Amino acid sequence: MTAFGLIVIGDEILSGKRVDKHLAKVIELLAVRGLQLSWASYLGDDRSAIATALKTSLAGEDVVFCTGGIGATPDDHTRYAAAQALGVELQLHETAKQLILERIAELRQGVLTPEEIRQRLKMGEFPRDCEIIPNPYNKIPGFSIKRHYFVPGFPVMAWPMIEWVLETHFGDLFHKNSWEERAMLVFETAESTLTPLMERIESEYHGVRVFSLPSVGDPTRVGSRSRRHIELGVKGPHDLVSLAYTALKAGVTLLHAEYEELVNEKKRPIGEAGRA
């Protein structure tokens, strides 16, 4: 199954000056299409660190979205880092050049000096052999190469561009696998007690993932979640989840552990918007 990753770049995220919104949105954009995010990373504006991370991901098969750092100011390093990771030079992409010049004309900011134009055209300098990603907000494109898709850090630009990538290149993957999730709350039981059962379920039902989310309980809440508990469940292909969950429930019963099924979350489609 195709894995999707996300790299968010920017010192402002790591310092707390700005709160990242990309992670939740990318999860949402994937979920409504029956897809899942497999991993995410946060990096500061460090060219060497970005290049190292990209060299690793470019060597794999994952589809990776990378947000931020593709501008032309001194703290924008992503274009250079991508070229470094690929071992190629930056070059002005002809289509990007035309789009940027069109944008300059549209803004009608008066006569720009050759140096001002050259500076703006830097935003169209991408690693050799890349393709562009259209930007419906202001025409300044992103770029793609080897299943890596580089977009600006601004959500108003990045999110439509990511949607375009998904719709243009990965439509054949939409809702290909009907995944579900089923879970229960297991009370006053240690994770170590449940671990052998979890391992057995995963070994017997290949393709199913077992998860546990411990909680000390919240006394301010009414109901079961006010008590110490573990949310224990399985997620995976539709045809296996029901069988695996039945086996998981039987195993918990054999441990004489008290549990409560999450009826409202039962058979929850992972690819359903806002719920995965």
Q: Identify any residues that bridge with 150 across adjacent strands, giving them in sequence order.
A: 66, 143
Task: State the average pLDDT for the chain.
Answer: 92
Q: Residue 207 sits in which domain range?
A: 179-269
Domain boundary among 173, 191, 219: 173
Is 260 part of a structural domain of the chain? yes
100 and 72, same domain (yes or no): yes
Is 276 part of a structural domain of the chain? no
Q: Are 46 and 77 in contact, with CB atoms under 8 Å apart? A: yes
pLDDT for 6 equals: 98
127 and 17, same domain (yes or no): yes
pLDDT for 109 equals: 63
How far is 161 from 155, CA to CA, in rounded Å?
A: 10
How far is 97 from 73, CA to CA, in rounded Å?
A: 17
154 and 262, same domain (yes or no): no
**The pair of three-digit structure tokens given for residue 184, joined into one six-digit string:** 């229960």
52 and 187, same domain (yes or no): no
How far is 211 from 213, CA to CA, in rounded Å?
A: 7
Number of domains in the chain: 2
127 and 197, same domain (yes or no): no
Q: Are 84 and 25 in contact, with CB atoms under 8 Å apart? A: no
Domain boundary among 112, 143, 173: 173
Is 198 part of a structural domain of the chain? yes
How far is 176 from 215, CA to CA, in rounded Å?
A: 34
Residues (pLDDT < 50) of the chain are: 265-276
Using alpha carbons, list the distances in angstroms from residue 260 to 193, 200, 224, 276.
Answer: 17, 21, 8, 21
Is 264 part of a structural domain of the chain? yes
pTM metric for this prediction: 0.82
**The pair of three-digit structure tokens given for residue 59, joined into one six-digit string:** 């060597």
Is 75 part of a structural domain of the chain? yes
153 and 48, same domain (yes or no): yes
Q: What is the CATH number of the domain that holds 47?
A: 3.40.980.10
Is 105 part of a structural domain of the chain? yes
Q: Are 95 and 130 in contact, with CB atoms under 8 Å apart? A: no
pLDDT for 180 equals: 87
How far is 221 from 219, CA to CA, in rounded Å?
A: 5
Q: Are 201 and 251 in contact, with CB atoms under 8 Å apart? A: yes
94 and 224, same domain (yes or no): no
Q: Are 76 and 24 in contact, with CB atoms under 8 Å apart? A: no
164 and 250, same domain (yes or no): no
pLDDT for 157 equals: 98
95 and 207, same domain (yes or no): no
Q: Give 124-172 pLDDT, tens digit per residue.
A: 999 999 999 999 999 999 999 999 999 999 999 999 999 999 999 999 9
Using alpha carbons, list the distances in angstroms from residue 37 to 3, 74, 164, 171.
Answer: 7, 31, 17, 16
How far is 205 from 85, CA to CA, in rounded Å?
A: 39
Is 211 part of a structural domain of the chain? yes
Q: What is the CATH number of the domain that holds 260?
A: 3.30.70.260
Domain boundary among 119, 150, 173: 173
Is 274 part of a structural domain of the chain? no
21 and 122, same domain (yes or no): yes
